[in-house]
Amino acid sequence: QKEVEQNSGPLSVPEGAIASLNCTYSDRGSQSFFWYRQYSGKSPELIMSIYSNGDKEDGRFTAQLNKASQYVSLLIRDSQPSDSATYLCASYTNTGNQFYFGTGTSLTVIP
């Protein structure tokens, strides 16, 4: 079982819709969770971090964390074609200072 699992997609949404990206993790000791966006041919770019249960909003992005269910999600409101990218979910645990990345979900926003 992988530490962090994501649906590889591809996920397609029309422009203006809400894109919902999901991630589960296996280590209950994980403390911090991150979402990265990676455009084709580019390196990952941090877009959201979340540490506590609940929602965290930043502009059009909302990260949601449910530690009881070991579930992290990213909502992108008013999706734009420029949001088309692969989104990587990551977790951090201070046991061994381990970072774990999912394999990413490919998102396409259709104009």
Partner 1 sequence: GAGVSQSPSNKVTEKGKDVELRCDPISGHTALYWYRQSLGQGLEFLIYFQGNSAPDKSGLPSDRFSAERTGGSVSTLTIQRTQQEDSAVYLCASSFQGRSYEQYFGPGTRLTVT
Residues that bind partner 1 (CB under 8 A): 31-32, 34, 36, 42-46, 49, 88, 90, 92, 96-97, 99, 101-104
Give the pair of three-digit tokens for residue 29.
């000791």
For partner 1, the closer of residues 62 and 86 by Cβ is 86
Q: Which regions of the chain does DSSP assign to beta strands (E)?
A: 4-6, 11-14, 19-25, 32-38, 45-50, 54-58, 61-66, 71-76, 85-93, 98-101, 105-110
Question: What is the rounded distance in angstroms from the CA atom of residue 90 to the CA atom of residue 21?
Answer: 13
CB of 81 vs partner 1, minimal distance in Å = 21
CB of 43 vs partner 1, minimal distance in Å = 4
For partner 1, the closer of residues 18 and 46 by Cβ is 46
Q: How many CB atoms neighbour CB 94 within 10 A?
A: 10
For partner 1, the closer of residues 61 and 92 by Cβ is 92
CB of 77 vs partner 1, minimal distance in Å = 23
